[in-house]
Structure 1
Amino acid sequence: MEIKKNIVLIGMPAVGKSTVGNLLAQKIGFNFLDSDDLIQSIEQKILAQIIVKKGLDQFLQIEENHIVSIRYKNHVIATGGSVVYSKKAMDHLSQNSTIVYLFAHLDMLLKRLFDLTGRGVAVNPGQTIEELYNERTPLYNRYYDIKIECDSMTAEQVVERAVKYLS
């Protein structure tokens, strides 16, 4: 597969996008960008504060605005799990990026992900992890170029698998 200008990691919260992204960038000689860190830096608030203060819909609009402003080359970009709600953001990323979906089954996510609000997960009030998973999985499946199941792999193993697929 031909690597485009960037590699974008998508997937549910707690699948390891930031960890894998950082390691992958080092491995292939790209720079690393965490879109959540970018948003927090520009907005001067952590994600949870933005969501509480401005509401979920406004947060998703803020996320979309920042994603479509990304104009990097040779970057591995770890996105927030909610990026797939924006067709505009995903179309922008897809133009010059290979989209890698880091997939984990629900039972693994239930072990890793427990504080949705404190973590700053874009979730409707009262929405469960199961509901979030069922809502987002079809969206992740719509946009990926490469899908890597990472339930039973270390971050280093996921990176090796990604490098293999990207070669």
Structure 2
Amino acid sequence: MTAKAVLIGPPGSGKSTLGRMLAERLGVEFRDTDADVEAVAGKPVSDIFVEDGEERFRELEHEAVRLALAEHEGVLSLGGGAVLHTETQALLAGHHVVYLQVGLSAAIERVGLASARPLLVLSPRSQLKKLMEERRPVYERLAVITVVTDKREPEELADEIVKGLPA
């Protein structure tokens, strides 16, 4: 099985919003691996980080991505840090990976500085900037399609992605 599209990118890039819209346009289901992790753990991602630690979250996340890539034929959204796992990177080979690139200002506007995202609790602006800089080379290497999301409407982005996907 191969997903129609696998969306990657930092927090605030629009993976969930655009993923749902893209799935609707393609007539397929949408799946978010963060939601899968929450379902397995029985608690929100932020609680997993606090109660179980980031390492445990990353284990659950990798397993969620592995299962989703094996089972899901629709549009799949990965958590921002999922691509850091080397085995996950290998699993993404051959998939239609779409990198949603976003600038720091746009990401902050979308995520907000009072974010409940666990990796952005202390000094959210500088943490988000650091995450984006560290992850950008991985996102770029894995992507088959890169779409800049700043100051663009989701409908326009969905159109661009659909045009870039194989028929």
Classify the TM-score, shorter chain. Answer: 0.7 to 0.9
Task: Check whether the contact 1:68–1:93 (CA below 8 A) recurs between aligned residues.
Answer: no
Change (3 A) 1:63 1:123: farther
1:11-160 mapped onto 2 (5 Å cutoff): 11-70=9-68, 71-95=70-94, 97-113=95-111, 114-116=113-115, 118-120=116-118, 122=119, 128-160=127-159
Q: 1:125 to 1:57 in 2, by over 3 A?
A: farther
Shift of 1:150: 0.7
Which letter maps to 1:155? Answer: P
Q: Distance in 1 between matches of 2:51 and 2:57?
A: 9
Instruction: Provide the rounded CA distance (Å) in 2 between the counterparts of 1:146 and 1:57.
Output: 29
**Greater mean deviation of Cα atoms: 41-50 or 59-68:** 59-68
Q: Contact 2:9/2:100 (CA < 8 Å) preserved in 1?
A: yes
C-alpha change, 1:155 and 1:35, in structure 2 (3 Å) is: same
Counterpart amino acid of 1:100?
A: V
Shift of 1:125: 6.1
C-alpha contact (below 8 Å) 2:92/2:142 kept by paired residues: no
CA contact (8 A) 2:66 2:88 kept: yes
Distance apart, 1:111 and its partner CA: 2.2
SS in 2 for 1:128: helix
- Return the offset for 1:5: 4.0
* Structure 2 gap ranges (5+): none
**TM-score, normalised by the number of residues in structure 1:** 0.87
The Cα offsets for residues 85-122 of structure 1, whole Å up to 9 and x where unpaired, read as 11211222334x20000001122223222244x134x4
After superposing on structure 2, the runs of 4+ consecutive aligned residues of structure 1 that deviate more than 3 Å are 122-127
Structure 1 distance, partners of 2:57, 2:73, is 27
Identity of aligned residues (%): 28
Which one-letter code corresponds to 1:161 in the other structure?
A: E
2-side partners of 1:124 and 1:88: how far apart? 27
TM-score of the aligned structures, taking structure 2 as reference length: 0.87
Aligned residue pairs: how many? 161
**Tell me, what secondary structure is at the counterpart of 2:81?**
helix
- Letter matched to residue 136 of structure 2: T
